[in-house]
Structure 1
Amino acid sequence: MPRKIFKKYMPDQHKLRAHPSLRWLGEHLHDPNLWHLTRKSVSRAFLVGVFCAFLPIPGQMLVAAVLALFMASNLAISIGLVWLTNPITIPPIFYFTYRIGAWLLDSHIRKDISFHWDLATIQSEIAAIWWPLLLGSLLTGILLSLLSYVAVHWFWIWHVNRSWRKRKQIRATRSADQND
């Protein structure tokens, strides 16, 4: 079952509940729906985690935790998927989302940026790329999170059906062997 696949990589829920950085969630961490590995909770976790991974803001894990609480998705998977955007993948992913946003807004894609380490330059450069980056990130996050939700949902169904067919075949061969 897919549950076995996910359970192999899941952290212990008791350790997560006791983790100091998650204590602010209090009693919400004791909701069993946040820890279940069901088709619905894992699919929702992919929806939440992939969407939050594409948010160009600090605190993506915090947003994923809050959304996991509201959507009753698996908390650990929701937070773990945020790490799709990590220090190695952030530059290409956010450049790609910036390009999508600039294309949708029909704005000039900035390629030659002269950068100086002073507050005024940093503020002006961020202001110049913010709207295309935000739009591209939100659209990409929504699209990929919906695709991952559907993919996990259908993979789970396919995997369970395949397991049932295998069991049925095994029972049929056992009963045929016993009848002989």
Structure 2
Amino acid sequence: MPRKFIKRFLPDHQKIKQNRALSMFGTLLHEPNLWHLNRKSASGAFGIGLFFAFWPVPFQMWLSAAMAIPFRANLPLSVATVWITNPFTMPPIFYAAYKVGTTVLGTESRHFEFQFNWQWVVESITTIGPAFLVGCAICSVVAGLVGYFGLNCVWRFSVKKAWDARKAARENNAAG
């Protein structure tokens, strides 16, 4: 069942509530629904986390946490899901988003080499920026929807499978 699998990787909610960096959220973190792990909260968290994972901005985890609170999604899971884009996966994921943007806008792909400086960022906004941002927006929405509905379906399937197994076990016990 996804609940048991996911729960193994989530941190203790009491430790998170006591984290000084999260004090800006105040008593909002004391909402019990943010810590429950059920189909609705988990699928919402996956959708929110995947949505913000494709945003090319710093502090994606803060954005994900800020959206999980009003949507009553599982807070730790929504923050953890953002880490699908990490320093190792960011280059291929953002390059794929750029390619999606060029396809949608009908522009040609430009050859570029990433440089870690402010001047390169400013120059790139006018050259590859529009295609990149459109691609990120499209990938963000699609990934969020796929994450939400995909986990929802996986959760339902696993619950139905567990019910069927219990039903079969009861029938075997009754017959034997």
Normalising by structure 2, we get a TM-score of 0.93
Mapped partners of 1:119, 1:151: distance in 2 = 38
Could you tell me how far 1:112 is from its partner in structure 2? 4.5
Deviations 1:81-106 (A, max 9, x none): 10000000111110110111122112
Larger Rg: 1
SS at match of 2:15: helix
Shift of 1:129: 1.9
Mark the CA change 1:67 to 1:174 in structure 2 (over 3 Å): closer, same or farther. Answer: same
Cross-structure match for 1:69: 69
After TM superposition, list the pairs within 5 Å mapping 1:2-17 onto structure 2: 2-17=2-17
Aligned pair count?
176
Q: Percent identity?
A: 38
Counterparts of 1:86 and 1:98, CA distance in 2: 17
Q: Which runs of 5+ in 2 are unaligned?
A: none
Alignment of 1:18-167 (within 5 A): 18-113=18-113, 119-167=118-166
Over 3 Å counting, the alpha-carbon distance change for 1:121 and 1:79 in structure 2 is: closer
Distance 2:115 2:159 in 1: 56
Contact 1:47 1:145 in 2 (8 A): yes
| Match status 1:172 vs 2:149 | no
Structure 1 CA distance for aligned equivalents of residues 41 and 134 of structure 2: 28
Structure 1 unaligned regions, length at least 5: none
Q: Tell me if the contact between 1:10 and 1:76 (Cα under 8 Å) persists in the aligned partners.
A: yes
Q: Which residue identity does 1:99 align to in structure 2? A: K
2:57 alignment partner, SS class: coil
Query: What is the Cα deviation at residue 133 of structure 1?
Result: 1.1
The SS at the match of 1:9 is coil
> How far off is 1:132 after superposition?
1.1
| Contact 1:50-1:145 at 8 Å conserved across structures | yes
The 3-state SS of whatever aligns with 1:142 is helix
Cα contact 1:56–1:133 (8 A) shared by 2? no
1:2: Cα distance to partner?
A: 2.4
Q: TM-score, normalised by structure 1?
A: 0.91
Aligned in 2, Cα 1:139/1:116: closer, same or farther, shift over 3 Å? Answer: closer
Q: State the distance in 1 between where 2:56 and 2:167 align.
A: 48
Tell me which moved more, 98-107 or 86-95: 98-107
Distance 2:116 2:47 in 1: 37
Distance 1:173 1:58, change over 3 A: same
Runs of 4+ in 1 over 3 A off after TM superposition: 115-122
Could you tell me how far apart the structure 2 residues matched to 1:122 and 1:156 are? 41
Contact 1:52 1:63 in 2 (8 A): yes
